[in-house]
A and B are shown apart, each in its own frame.
Chain A
Amino acid sequence: MVEIRVAIEDTTTAPTLVRRLATLFDRAAISFDRSHREVRVESEWESHAVMRVVEVVQAWLSEDGAESATLSIGDRSYTLETSTPLGVGR
């Protein structure tokens, strides 16, 4: 089981992120901690969950106008910004 935390700057945008995540994860696995400004996702399969959350957050950043978000998984953190490419072809 892995918990993925998405820290967001503007809490008013949290519902749209939660809605997007709910299309891929069970709604019970998603929560919003207002005091820490974090949307959390629990999933059994870490690698796929991380990949999906990254994709959702990227889409949320580019389509819903949020500027950046920080993903934390365990003690590792990744900052995603609007300009970060989703797929980088080589």
Chain B
Amino acid sequence: MIGLAPDRRKTLDLVQRISVAGRGGVTAPVFLEDVCGAVAEAFDFDSVAAMRYDTEAEEEREIAFAGRAPADRADREPTASVSLLAEARETENLALVSAGDVALAFALPLISGDRCLAVLYGTRGGTVSPPETDWDALASVGVIAATLLEDALAREEMSEHDMLKSEFVALAAHELRNPLSSIYGISVTLDDRADELADSQRVTLLDALREQTTRTRNLVEQLLDLSRLDLAAIHISPEPLLLRPKIEELVRPLADARPDAVRIAVRSDLEAVVDPAALDRMLSNLIANSLRHGKPPVTITAEGQDRHLRLAVEDRGGGVPREFVPRLFDRFARSSESRGRGDGSGLGLAIAQAYARAHGGEIVYEPAMPHGARFEVVIPLRGYGDTQRVIERSDPRHRNRIH
């Protein structure tokens, strides 16, 4: 048996402890808390925290912590040194704060591939004499912890995806059940009691049957649409398109009963390179949504700006209730008012958004002025073969083409 030097033994024990912590499908915060505890103990730091940079809030967030801290730690302000964390992220290497020969703090980035998954941040006080720190050992621990952390994050992502899928199937089944129950009930009534029914009753039932069948068919089409989008089975093929005739074509069946309800404020010579099918799905869902939930006039505008095509659908209704805005594009999301009326499946905006994203863009909502709802489709302009470019031609026929 080969004897190991005490330092080497300590490092191997630490590596083993971290490897064990990563087993058994633990979540990232639980794993990191174990890593923080192990590192604090092995390297004699008072506390070690795991920090992640929140790109939306543009600030460091503590996601795990181990060590000594005041009792009221929950109320304290963030403790980590922003400059030290920034240095570790930038250099992708261990960064230290020292006073003389003593390291008082370290920041160790946990890097996997080209991503910094988190930064371990440790501090110690100055009243005791700390042992000499084996920085190479700490760096090795960082590599192992990063690998295991990536596994934990991938597991979390997968589990979230599974959860969303199950939720989607449950909601889809629930939404299909209502019209199918009506169809079944009407069919049974017509079959069993046809002789007892007056003509007017039969007509009413047949109308309801048609309405519910149409609703079911639309819902199934929407579900198939989403399923194809989820599988990335829809290919976006941009091609030059004169926008106004295309929009007029889309509006015609939607505003059939109320021809004056929709105004198209788009120049007749405005041309863009977009996928016609995606444009159809995005606009028809937005227009149908405005006609159903808003109030006329519904106005459609389009312009090319900042290398993006901006298509807006605006109505003069009451707008989207503020509390519902964060869930506006969620699948099966319906405001309480809409749910009460029993109209719409709550999939239209989700589908429109999915098409916009497949096109590399986004649909954004904002309240219209002075009142109403305004949905804007913003998609990057493309040239043929997916190459982004702006083509300026002297030929006046092409002056308004947007790429």
A and B part of one assembly: yes
Contacts of B128 in A (CB 8 A): 76
Number of interface residues of B (CB under 8 A): 35
Give Cα A74–Cα B127 distance, bound, in whole angstroms.
Answer: 6
Identify A47's interface contact among B124, B129, B135, CB under 8 A.
B124
Q: Let me know if A73 and B126 touch, CB within 8 A.
A: yes
Q: Let me know if B94 and A47 touch, CB within 8 A.
A: no
* Interface assignment of A9: CB less than 8 Å from any CB of chain B: no
Q: Let me know if B123 and A54 touch, CB within 8 A.
A: no
Identify B123's interface contact among A47, A71, A85, CB under 8 A.
A47
Give Cα A45–Cα B127 distance, bound, in whole angstroms.
Answer: 12
Q: Let me know if A50 and B123 touch, CB within 8 A.
A: yes
Give Cα A50–Cα B123 distance, bound, in whole angstroms.
Answer: 9
* Interface assignment of A2: CB less than 8 Å from any CB of chain B: yes
Q: Mark A47-90, 1 if CB is under 8 A from B, else 0.
A: 11111101100000000000000010111101110001111111
Contacts of A76 in B (CB 8 A): 126-129
Give Cα A73–Cα B104 distance, bound, in whole angstroms.
Answer: 13
> Range of interface residues on chain A?
20 to 34
Q: Which residue on A lies nearest to B45, using beta carbons?
A: A47
* Interface assignment of A10: CB less than 8 Å from any CB of chain B: no
Q: Mark A31-56, 1 if CB is under 8 A from B, else 0.
A: 00000000000001111111110110
Q: Which residue on B lies nearest to A81, using beta carbons?
A: B100
Q: Let me know if B96 and A2 touch, CB within 8 A.
A: no
Contacts of A84 in B (CB 8 A): 98-100
Q: Let me know if A71 and B99 touch, CB within 8 A.
A: yes
Give Cα A78–Cα B83 distance, bound, in whole angstroms.
Answer: 21
Known contacts A47-B124, A48-B79; decide if A79 and B100 are in contact (CB<8 Å).
Answer: yes
Known contacts A50-B104, A88-B95, A88-B98; decide if A55 and B126 are in contact (CB<8 Å).
Answer: no
Give Cα A17–Cα B221 distance, bound, in whole angstroms.
Answer: 68
Total inter-chain residue pairs, C-beta < 8 Å:
92
Give Cα A80–Cα B129 distance, bound, in whole angstroms.
Answer: 17
Q: Mark B71-101, 1 if CB is under 8 A from A, else 0.
A: 0010010010101100100010111111110
Known contacts A45-B70, A90-B139; decide if A51 and B127 are in contact (CB<8 Å).
Answer: no
Known contacts A51-B97, A51-B123, A71-B99; decide if A87 and B83 are in contact (CB<8 Å).
Answer: yes
Give Cα A71–Cα B125 distance, bound, in whole angstroms.
Answer: 12
Q: Let me know if A47 and B95 touch, CB within 8 A.
A: no
Known contacts A47-B45, A51-B105, A86-B83; decide if A2 and B97 are in contact (CB<8 Å).
Answer: no
Q: Let me know if B126 and A87 touch, CB within 8 A.
A: no
Contacts of B76 in A (CB 8 A): 45
Known contacts A47-B47, A87-B96; decide if A74 and B126 are in contact (CB<8 Å).
Answer: yes
Identify A55's interface contact among B45, B81, B95, CB under 8 A.
B81
Known contacts A48-B79, A51-B104; decide if A71 and B98 are in contact (CB<8 Å).
Answer: no
* Interface assignment of B102: CB less than 8 Å from any CB of chain A: yes
Q: Let me know if B100 and A89 touch, CB within 8 A.
A: no
Known contacts A88-B98, A90-B139; decide if A47 and B46 are in contact (CB<8 Å).
Answer: yes
Q: Let me know if A46 and B87 touch, CB within 8 A.
A: no
Q: Which residue on B lies nearest to A75, using beta carbons?
A: B127
Q: Let me know if A47 and B96 touch, CB within 8 A.
A: no
Q: Let me know if A73 and B94 touch, CB within 8 A.
A: no
Listed by A's residue number, 19 A-B pairs whose Cβ atoms lie within 8 Å are A45-B79, A47-B45, A47-B105, A50-B124, A50-B126, A51-B104, A73-B127, A76-B128, A76-B129, A80-B99, A86-B97, A87-B84, A87-B96, A88-B97, A89-B91, A89-B93, A89-B94, A90-B94, A90-B139
A positions within 8 Å CB-CB of B: 2, 4, 44-52, 54-55, 71, 73-76, 78-80, 84-90
Instruction: Give me 17 other A-B pairs in contact (C-beta within 8 A), A50-B124, A51-B81, A90-B139 excluded.
Output: A2-B125, A2-B127, A4-B126, A44-B70, A46-B126, A47-B45, A47-B123, A47-B125, A48-B123, A50-B123, A73-B127, A75-B127, A76-B126, A76-B128, A84-B99, A88-B95, A89-B95
